[in-house]
């Protein structure tokens, strides 16, 4: 069994995964959404303090498994420095106390493996990662063969939902709130410009759209918010499908996946489904419970890393807040 810890942002989570079967034996997450909601976004120092309280509480519930643990895994990159350190410090303590190897897991690879919780992995895979911190397209052939082909130059897809929600006073996280509001609105009412429409560059950008939405919000009344939300969601999604269509012209997908917190968005899912039709590609999605940050996905990666003995010593495991993927 492997114990895995996730604390890269605002979710304190610990899981236990059986190595031979990928079975999830224990899974607990304490979310800090409510605490950050009043600020309209994650406050790193508050998040760190809440992890320091929550992680030891969850770990105590894992005690019955301690004797059978073969390794401890933890998200060490990317994420908020002050919150990553909470998980890594705890993982090091467990590694030393139980004399078991330590595995440092990349959170983005975790999101990819959220597709394979309690399942076998499927490759090759073209992945669209849409989370609060990242928007990127990756070609994934194996655990160690991951190539990023496009990423955001500024804000991420999820982050733009958070910022639009904040403008409308809807709290944090903004994704689910905007999605709910958009369902009642007219997607064609506001003619926002699709970002990077005229450049051939394979990249994403959400800061211009965010500013256009800000102007619309400032000029309008609350009763118009649903139309703004619907039009924003439509254009934010169209930006993704437009760039993906360009990429597919030279790299037709076989297996395509959407992962990350924002992959829960139903409008995005439906538009990607439409886009994939001509290619007859399989669409892989994580269970809704594992789209947002969790420790089960970290545990699933750790099973693969354990089999390859990809361990790091307690002295050498460091946090790397910026992604190297």
Using CB under 5 A, list all residues that contact Zn ion: 131, 293
158 binds, among Zn ion, ligand KG4, none (CB under 5 to 8 A by kind): ligand KG4
Residue 161 binding partner per list ligand KG4, Zn ion, none, with a CB distance cut-off of 5 to 8 Å that depends on partner kind: ligand KG4
**Binding residue for ligand KG4 (CB under 6 A) from 175, 185, 195, 253?**
175
| Sign of the CA dihedral running 179, 181, 184, 187 | negative
d(CA 12, CA 54): 6
The residue count of the chain comes to 325
Task: State which of positions 13-72 bind ligand KG4 (CB under 6 A).
Answer: none
For 301, the 3-state DSSP assignment is helix
Q: Which is nearer to ligand KG4, 132 or 253 (CB)?
A: 132
* Residue whose entry in the numeric block shows the structure tokens 């301690």: 66
Please state, as a whole number, how many other Cβ atoms lie within 10 Å of the Cβ of residue 220. 14
Q: Of ligand KG4, Zn ion, none, which one does residue 175 interact with (CB within 5 to 8 Å by kind)?
A: ligand KG4
Spacing of C-alpha 190 from chain mean position: 28
Q: How far is the CB of 111 from ligand KG4 (least distance, A)?
A: 6
Nearer to Zn ion, 40 or 173 (CB): 173
Binding range to ligand KG4, per CB under 6 A, among 49-57, 125-133, 216-224, 299-307? 125-133
Residues in contact with 218: Cβ distance below 8 Å, sequence separation at least 6, in sequence order: none
Closest CB to ligand KG4 among residues 260, 299: 260
**Displacement of CA 21 from its chain's centroid (Å):** 24
Distance CA 83, CA 11 (A): 10
CB 55 within 8 A of CB 14: yes
**In whole angstroms, what is the distance from residue 248 CA to residue 325 CA?**
21
Q: CB of residue 121 vs ligand KG4: minimum separation in angstroms?
A: 19
Q: How many residues bind ligand KG4 (CB under 6 A)?
A: 20
Q: Which residue in 88, 292, 295, 302 binds ligand KG4 (CB under 6 A)? A: 292
How far from the centroid of its chain's Cα atoms is residue 53's Cα? 23
What does 152 bind: Zn ion, ligand KG4, none (CB cut-off 5 to 8 Å by kind)?
none
Question: What is the binding site for ligand KG4 (CB under 6 A)?
Answer: 9, 131-133, 158-159, 161-162, 173-176, 179, 260-262, 264-265, 292-293
């Amino acid at each position: 069994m492997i114990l895995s810890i996730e604390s890269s942002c605002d979710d304190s989570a610990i899981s236990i995964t059986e190595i031979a079967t990928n079975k999830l034996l224990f899974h607990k997450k304490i979310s800090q959404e409510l605490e950050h909601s009043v600020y309209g976004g994650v406050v790193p120092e508050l998040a760190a303090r809440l992890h320091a309280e929550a992680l030891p509480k969850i770990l105590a519930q894992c005690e019955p498994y301690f004797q059978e643990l073969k390794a401890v895994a933890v998200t060490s990159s990317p994420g908020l420095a002050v919150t990553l350190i909470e998980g890594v410090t705890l993982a090091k303590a467990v590694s030393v106390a139980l004399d078991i190897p330590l595995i440092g897991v990349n959170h983005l690879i975790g999101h990819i493996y959220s597709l394979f919780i309690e399942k076998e992995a499927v490759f090759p895979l073209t992945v669209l990662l849409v989370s609060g911190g990242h928007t990127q397209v990756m070609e994934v052939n194996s655990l160690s063969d991951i190539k990023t082909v496009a990423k955001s130059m500024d804000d991420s897809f999820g982050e733009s939902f958070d910022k639009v929600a904040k403008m409308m006073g809807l709290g944090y996280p903004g994704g689910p709130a905007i999605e709910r509001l958009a369902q009642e609105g007219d997607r064609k009412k506001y003619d926002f410009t699709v970002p990077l429409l005229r450049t051939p560059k394979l990249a994403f950008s959400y800061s211009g759209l965010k500013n256009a939405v800000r102007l619309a919000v400032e000029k309008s009344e609350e009763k118009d918010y649903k139309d703004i939300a619907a039009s924003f969601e439509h254009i934010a999604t169209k930006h993704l499908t437009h760039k993906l269509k360009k990429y597919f012209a030279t790299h037709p997908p076989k297996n395509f996946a959407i992962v990350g917190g924002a992959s829960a968005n139903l409008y995005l899912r439906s538009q990607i489904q439409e886009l994939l039709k001509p290619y007859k590609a399989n669409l892989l999605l994580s269970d809704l419970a594992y789209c947002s940050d969790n420790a089960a996905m970290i545990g699933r990666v750790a099973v693969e890393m354990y089999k390859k003995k990809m361990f790091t010593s307690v002295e050498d495991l460091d946090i790397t807040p910026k992604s190297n993927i």
